[in-house]
Structure 1
Amino acid sequence: MCGLLTFISANGTAGLFKGPIGEAVEHLHHRGPDETGVELIDEDAVLAHKRLSVIDVASSHQPMWYAEGRYVMTFNGEIYNYKELRAELQRDFGAVFRTDGDGEVILAGYHHWGPSVTSRLRGMFAFVIWDRAERRAFGARDPFGIKPMFYLQTPQGVLFSSEKKALMPFVDPRDIDEANLSHYLTLQYPPEPGTMHRAIKRIGSGYQVVFDPGQPHEQAQPVTSARYYRADFQPRPVDDPRRLYDEILEVVRESVRIHMRSDVPVGAFLSSGIDSTGVVALAREFNPGILTFTMGFDVPGHYNELDVAQESARDLGVTSIGTKIGAREMMEELPRIVWHLDDPVADPALVPLYFVAKKAAEYVTVAIGGEGADEFFGGYTIYREPLSLKGVQALPQSMQSGLRAVSKVIPEGVKGKSFLQRGTTPLEERFKGNATIFEEAEKQLLMRRYNPAVRYTDVTGPVYAECQGLDPTTRMQYVDIYTWLRGDILVKADRMSMAHSLEVRVPFLDPEVFKVAAKIPLDEKVPSKIAGQTKHALRMALASVVPPAIVNRAKMGFPTPTRVWLKDEMFAWADHILSTSGAGEYLDLGYARKLLHEHRAGTADNSRKVWTVLVFCTWFAIFVDKTLDPGIRRADSQLAAKPAVGSVVS
């Protein structure tokens, strides 16, 4: 895995930027500690790269050149079908390769196939190619957004980067996008394509981008983008469920097989659920000695997955390496975790993932995980909600209006109130994605400058519009793929692993796997006759390879005991942050402290709300106020304080 930073000049002055780009790419050192490449390509381009050597370790250096110097590329990711594409390019075009890696396949593919190369790539990727003959930059991001790509357009040119922090020296840190702050408080992450800084954007998953600086002394055109991939669900009835299960098992097995391609050791994350267990069970077919890693907390009860995961490892005949943390480690590491995130993401599951990745990195360079199975196969419990609400939703609109009025007068906490409210609310208004933190009325109390015109529907509305005609559960899956998955799940998978120079691969998030998942009918995802079950077809498909006790186990997903700790061990720490943070410029931290004290008293479970504010305060102190040193690397901390770089391009 790697980190890229590319500058394309709008006025032929790239030479002025080699030094600043070389400094800024050091913010990405954790993404690629093996090699650093910074090259002034010509008067138009500076390409910088940090390499984590995984495939073709001895070669495949970047920036990478092709076609006698016409093209040069920086690339982050892995192309799992590179061997097959390489053979096809050699057969059809006589393509010549100087390396044995996957990166050169992208360059050869672009040379011979043009922009359509992105539709042929099976993997996770973000790359930028500078075409010196056409004076054009072409870039792309993988179909599901596994790998990140940020960009910043300025009068001097465009910068592309694997992480936002490498672009921060070139912007005003106080230019916060308050609309995305509002979305963060609702969703627990700032949604794509924006970030928490107004000037820095993200390239969308499944998008290509082009930047043409034009002729010298002409005004450069803005970055243009085009979508090359969309997740197209087409559920259909099945005559033979067993055949469907076999098809799922084989496509997942094949995806795991090619995801195991590596010239360095590969391990796996193992929790107590069927997704990671299934991946490990299939991975051991290709590597019987695969190491697995899991995480637990020093809190009694359901917060500890170690026992179940290690039992599964014994059943599968693989080695399990566990790690356990407490509240102290969580508090100490939060600044480093938030620094790696770039933007605040208030998912507490970030913390165990950070620590399990740290442990895995002591043994392997690559780990595989189970991300994406829930979104593809219907794994979240909330996906069953349309079944329970079906009776109410089928009533005439006049009756629904009456029931909605009744729900408003029922006191809070009375059984049935929430059911009536949700049952009489259209899907587009009740499902915001997998997490909802603050409601609008609460944000009015919390935000200093609450804007009622900014609503979560600004984010979800366009996504719902793309999946009209599908059943409600499948629409929820689609919304999650384009909000929750790429805004939360994949951000934490990428940043928490790369924090330790560990590459994480996700075999479920594969276009070939999605082709099969896309056609699964509703009753094979959330069967009406099996109470509480989700992703039924996937469970049946994996039943022959995972331990029987795991097949119907409810999802846990590295649960974090913040609810418990904020009442006791973490209370004083949290209260101090809320009492002293400079983020009070944007949030009423007195209101946040009230939520914390209510939580400690046990009158309400405000743990997720308090955690959301704490993460924002920590982010603000690191990236805006710069009053908190996360203690990553001394060189990076000094770089972050350099104001001169920001004056070059702003």
Structure 2
Amino acid sequence: MCGYAGVMFSQDSSFASIPNHKDIFFSSANNVKHRGNEPLRKAEFENILLAHYRLAFLDIASNIQPMLSKNKKWVIVFNGEIYNHNLLRKKITAEQGYHFSTKSDTESILEGFLNYGLEIEKYLDGEYSFVICKTDGSELIAMRDPFGVKPLYFGLEDVQTNIFSTAQESYLFKTKTLHFSSEIKGLSIEKKWQRDGFLRQITGLYEPIRTPYQNIIQLPPNSFLYAKKQNDYYVCKIQLKKQPVRPILTDSDLNQDEMLHEFSKTLYKSVEYRMLSEVELGVYLSGGIDSRAVTYEMINYLQHKKINRPLKSFTISFDNEEYSEATEALSFAQKYSVTPNILKVSNLNLSYAYKHAVYHSENVQPYTNCAAKWWLSKFAGKYVKGVLTGDGADELLGGYPSFKYASWWKFALSSVPGDNVFDKIKKLTSGASLRDGTLMKKLTPEKDPWLVGSSVEGTGEDFMESLMLWGVPHPLFSQIKTIASAILGNDEATKWLSEQKESIRSWYSFGYQSDDEFLSNPTNTLALWQNYFCKTHLPVQILNVVGDRMEMANSVEGRTPFLSREMAKLVAKLKDSMLIRGYEDKSILRRCYAKKIGQNFAMAPKKQFGSPFLFNENLIRNYQELITNKVKDTQLFEIKNTSGLFEFMRSDFLKKKASPHLLTQISSAFQALICFTILDDTLIKNNPPKKEEDYEEKVLNQKII
């Protein structure tokens, strides 16, 4: 709902020594103004500078930030929504006799912290990040929601960020300056590449704390940062909750009917909370079960509250009909009397949006769906200020091909005798193959794997290689290895990948056991992969590339019912079979809503929200030169290693020889390098892409319905 930036610094810090440091700060803070639709509001104290841009949904008249406590000793900047904040303020009033001055959740958080300290976290249900500072510059507390829906970054002075590369319950460090912002571009700190963080992100080894940029970290989900001034330094602690997404369950007291009822009840409650707003909300509607379930419950809510207003849905359509879900979305909207709004965009439109989407995501990654989401949010913003989305369902309920792949691995080795996983693999592959033609067809039913978000062939090689190298079963290993080899060369890639073992294992096992036997046991594969994915890919890549960052790029708030506190508690009760049942993904969601919306709507196969790779023959030639110059300039790796990649991309003969999966992996490596060149221009060199308002308005007028 907002964007903010701030800095707390000691007088002998590097930041304080800059003559025009205030001007630099507010100039950087201006880079997050797109997150709000109101003018800048700021606060200045002796050692603190704060800036806030508001996108208001509640208590629109009086919820002004930065907000001071009544005693003027504390100040807060906040982004997000606390959906149960009225319960919190009732508790504070009953126990402390406090009288609130506003109706806002911002005041609820601030007074909640002053009354309950760090325990405030257990009373909050919502999507949020906030920073509370003591106005004398002596203390700071920052928190982020359990799944990392709302972003929060810190820029540190002279802190080696490699201390954050492995998962720990807490991290201790000290710094003379704490820069913070909703986005990296809002930090008043010079942006420079950090090689190891860069390599990890471009290859798809996402980290929830370290970033590709020097001295810049992301506060991980479900954590807090506390800083206290001691002499010239701030002594800081980041504390994480060490709990898995799901415990390893072999049995459950809940039968299926009870579980389906509880699931439906929980999702409705999540939707009900996220309808809390003084302005109209819409919904993103695709052809998948996630958005259909959310839409269905929004309709129920409006009927229950006797709100006589048609629900507005927003859908995007593409030139390439294989990627489009407009027909499916329209069919559902018409059945349930939803007002459909469908925008058609061309590949040329997507290419225009791509550089803007990359700039806002701040991620080095190979995916292009951010360009589609950028247009979708801009389109929705013409009609509403906020939307409910299906984000998080795939991660919590097993919706990606990699989840089915992990489930298959568990099944494939379950009946094979052996003392350990390597014995099982040896027996299974002696005279036979792990290749399962049925699995391959189920994982990627299309000729183009990119259509369903798949880059794995489904032969089991990913698991075997990752187990040998890291001791954990990683279903996307082949894509990671391909991208690493494309930019580092085979030998250097193998060496570098082997060095990532400790970090990868630590995030896999965070909340679980960390011994070799537990991590390699096929029985645990699905739960381990989900745990790793939700703690790394979800907050770092997915919620940046197609979540909050794309909505807020166009001053639209996205609300995520599947990522509620209550939904997380429910998911923790689920067995593997309630997520993946044979080849059926998101089984509990599909079966729960099959009776409500019909089999056809509930059981429709997943189609990845995405768009095709955004390059052609001419762009390949042009980008080879651009990439070459950028690599030489940054020296992040040697350009000679990419010669094979460039040769492959230029050669129709080599492309025709490649399998669809290998072609997808190599193309994704090239797309990631294009992304890198855009980020180096826009974020590192601070040259944001130019917006063409007339062109954008022309595209938005391509509305189908």
TM range (shorter): 0.7 to 0.9
**Paired residues of 1:378 and 1:534 also in contact (CA < 8 A):** yes
Q: Deviation of residue 629 (structure 1)?
A: 4.9
Note the alpha carbon deviations across 1:73-117, whole angstroms, 9 max, x for none.
Answer: 111111111111111211121122111111000001001111110
The answer to whether 1:35 aligns with 2:43 is no
**Residues 263-278 of structure 1: pairs in structure 2 closer than 5 A:** 263-278=278-293
Instruction: Please name the residue that 1:573 is paired with.
Output: 619
Q: Deviation of residue 28 (structure 1)?
A: 0.5
The answer to whether 1:419 aligns with 2:459 is yes
Note the alpha carbon deviations across 1:500-559, whole angstroms, 9 max, x for none.
Answer: 0000010110111111111012222212xxx41012112122223334312111111323
The answer to whether 1:619 aligns with 2:679 is yes
Instruction: Please name the residue that 2:160 is paired with.
Output: none
The answer to whether 1:18 aligns with 2:40 is no
Instruction: Please name the residue that 2:340 is paired with.
Output: 320
- Structure 1 residues 304 and 437: CA distance shift in structure 2, 3 A: same
Q: Deviation of residue 330 (structure 1)?
A: 1.8
**Paired residues of 1:208 and 1:228 also in contact (CA < 8 A):** no
For 1:484, give the aligned amino acid: H
- Structure 1 residues 559 and 39: CA distance shift in structure 2, 3 A: closer
The answer to whether 1:548 aligns with 2:548 is no
For 1:59, give the aligned amino acid: S
Mind listing any 5+ residue stretches in structure 1 that lack a counterpart?
Answer: 635-650
- Structure 1 residues 75 and 97: CA distance shift in structure 2, 3 A: same
**Paired residues of 1:295 and 1:558 also in contact (CA < 8 A):** no
Q: TM-score, normalised by structure 2?
A: 0.81
CA RMSD of aligned residues (A): 3.0
Q: C-alpha distance in 2, partners of 1:521/1:409? A: 29
Instruction: Please name the residue that 2:64 is paired with.
Output: 61
The answer to whether 1:523 aligns with 2:577 is yes
Instruction: Please name the residue that 1:646 is paired with.
Output: none
Instruction: Please name the residue that 2:391 is paired with.
Output: 371
State the percentage of identical aligned residues. 22
**Residues 312-391 of structure 1: pairs in structure 2 closer than 5 A:** 312-389=332-409, 390-391=411-412
Note the alpha carbon deviations across 1:453-512, whole angstroms, 9 max, x for none.
Answer: 454534421122223467321222111111111122111211111110000010110111
> Given the alignment, which residue of 643, 649, 660 partners 1:596?
649
Instruction: Please name the residue that 2:199 is paired with.
Output: 182
Q: C-alpha distance in 2, partners of 1:29/1:134? A: 25
For 1:560, give the aligned amino acid: S
- Structure 1 residues 190 and 401: CA distance shift in structure 2, 3 A: closer
Q: C-alpha distance in 2, partners of 1:609/1:599? A: 17
**Paired residues of 1:81 and 1:121 also in contact (CA < 8 A):** yes
For 1:151, give the aligned amino acid: F
**Paired residues of 2:211 and 2:218 also in contact (CA < 8 A):** yes
Instruction: Please name the residue that 1:464 is paired with.
Output: 508
Instruction: Please name the residue that 1:152 is paired with.
Output: 155
For 1:538, give the aligned amino acid: L
Q: C-alpha distance in 2, partners of 1:377/1:574? A: 38
Note the alpha carbon deviations across 1:574-617, whole angstroms, 9 max, x for none.
Answer: 33122223322245353332232246843332332221221112
Q: C-alpha distance in 2, partners of 1:366/1:297? A: 23
Q: Deviation of residue 239 (structure 1)?
A: 4.8
Q: C-alpha distance in 2, partners of 1:542/1:364? A: 27
Q: C-alpha distance in 1, partners of 2:260/2:540? A: 30
Q: Deviation of residue 344 (structure 1)?
A: 2.1
SS at match of 2:234: coil
The answer to whether 1:486 aligns with 2:534 is no
Note the alpha carbon deviations across 1:313-363, whole angstroms, 9 max, x for none.
Answer: 112220111111111112222221111112323222212111111110110
Instruction: Please name the residue that 1:209 is paired with.
Output: 225
Q: Deviation of residue 253 (structure 1)?
A: 0.2
- Structure 1 residues 535 and 401: CA distance shift in structure 2, 3 A: closer
- Structure 1 residues 36 and 544: CA distance shift in structure 2, 3 A: farther
Instruction: Please name the residue that 2:448 is paired with.
Output: none
Instruction: Please name the residue that 1:583 is paired with.
Output: 630
Q: C-alpha distance in 2, partners of 1:481/1:298? A: 32
- Structure 1 residues 579 and 17: CA distance shift in structure 2, 3 A: closer
Q: Which stretch of structure 1 is more off in the superposition, 147-156 or 587-596? A: 587-596
Q: Deviation of residue 200 (structure 1)?
A: 0.7
The answer to whether 1:257 aligns with 2:272 is yes
- Structure 1 residues 515 and 211: CA distance shift in structure 2, 3 A: same
- Structure 1 residues 28 and 358: CA distance shift in structure 2, 3 A: same
Q: Deviation of residue 371 (structure 1)?
A: 1.0
**Paired residues of 2:141 and 2:227 also in contact (CA < 8 A):** yes
**Paired residues of 2:179 and 2:189 also in contact (CA < 8 A):** no
SS at match of 2:59: coil
Q: Deviation of residue 186 (structure 1)?
A: 2.0
SS at match of 1:437: helix
Instruction: Please name the residue that 2:239 is paired with.
Output: 226
**Paired residues of 2:5 and 2:51 also in contact (CA < 8 A):** yes
SS at match of 2:644: helix
Q: C-alpha distance in 2, partners of 1:553/1:344? A: 32
Note the alpha carbon deviations across 1:99-155, whole angstroms, 9 max, x for none.
Answer: 111100000100111111022110111111112478211111111111111101226
Instruction: Please name the residue that 1:637 is paired with.
Output: none
Mind listing any 5+ residue stretches in structure 2 that lack a counterpart?
Answer: 158-174, 303-308, 441-456, 694-705
Q: C-alpha distance in 2, partners of 1:423/1:453? A: 18
SS at match of 2:277: coil
